[in-house]
Amino acid sequence: MELLTETASGLLAGFLLLLLGDFISTFAYHVPEHVFGKFHSLVHHGANRSFVHYAVLTRNPLVLLDGFLGALPYFVFIPWLWQLSPIGTLLGLALGEFHVVWRHITAAGKVTPPWLQRCCEACFLTTPERHWQHHENAEAAFGDIFTFFHRPAYGWLKVLRGLKISYRRWRRGGLGA
Ligand SMILES: [Zn+2]
Ligand SMILES: [Zn+2]
């Protein structure tokens, strides 16, 4: 019985780490970076995309920095989830790291088998093919790990863009007066 409870808390801790990490990373870093920043767009969506893509696997320092900033939200939950289950927290971190590498392997020409793609779609998990869509089109396929973050993230993108435009107009108006 105790083993069962421990396994359940472990799985919960791992799942929460990925869910909350992806949520904060998407809404507090990824989407705002697309609107106000240049760094992520340069590294992740640059014209030299195939090189950048390749660099994720070769550990280019700039790409690593973008990866680190994107990964930071996963780390902030560690102290809290550690109390729930240390093993589960470590498992979540390992799976998160594995997913970063996996979702970038399309650059190396690897194709996800159709059965695995169907599995991932059913579980709302981002496949390398889906993530590649985001690299090609910065408005598509948000949600680094979970696909259900795309819709709200796209809405958030539009809200922030609207704010940026209003702010610019307001500044121009203010300067003109
Ligand atoms: Zn990517
Ligand atoms: Zn992006």
The residues spanned by each domain of the chain are: 2-176
Q: Which residues have a Cβ under 8 Å from the Cβ of 148 and sit 6 or more positions away?
A: 124
pLDDT digits (tens, 9 = 90+) for 22-69: 999 999 999 999 999 877 877 777 665 554 455 555 566 776 777 778
The mean pLDDT value of the chain amounts to 87
CA of 131 to the centre of ligand 1 (A): 6
CA of 162 to the centre of ligand 1 (A): 25
CA of 173 to the centre of ligand 2 (A): 31
How is residue 38 annotated by DSSP?
S
pLDDT digits (tens, 9 = 90+) for 123-140: 999 999 999 999 888 899
Contact 68, 90 (CB under 8 A): no
CA of 140 to the centre of ligand 2 (A): 9
pTM: predicted TM-score of the whole model, two decimal places: 0.86
Query: What is the three-state SS of 114-151?
Result: HHHHHHHHHCCECCHHHHHHHHHCCCCCCCCCEHHHHH
CA of 22 to the centre of ligand 2 (A): 13
pLDDT digits (tens, 9 = 90+) for 61-105: 776 777 778 888 999 999 999 999 999 999 999 999 999 888 888
CA of 128 to the centre of ligand 1 (A): 9
CA distance 48 to 69: 21
Nearest ligand to the C-alpha of residue 144?
Answer: 1
Nearest ligand to the C-alpha of residue 33?
Answer: 2
Instruction: Give yes or no for residue 165 having a pLDDT over 70.
Output: yes
- In the block, which residue shows the tokens 């660099």? 55
CA distance 146 to 104: 15
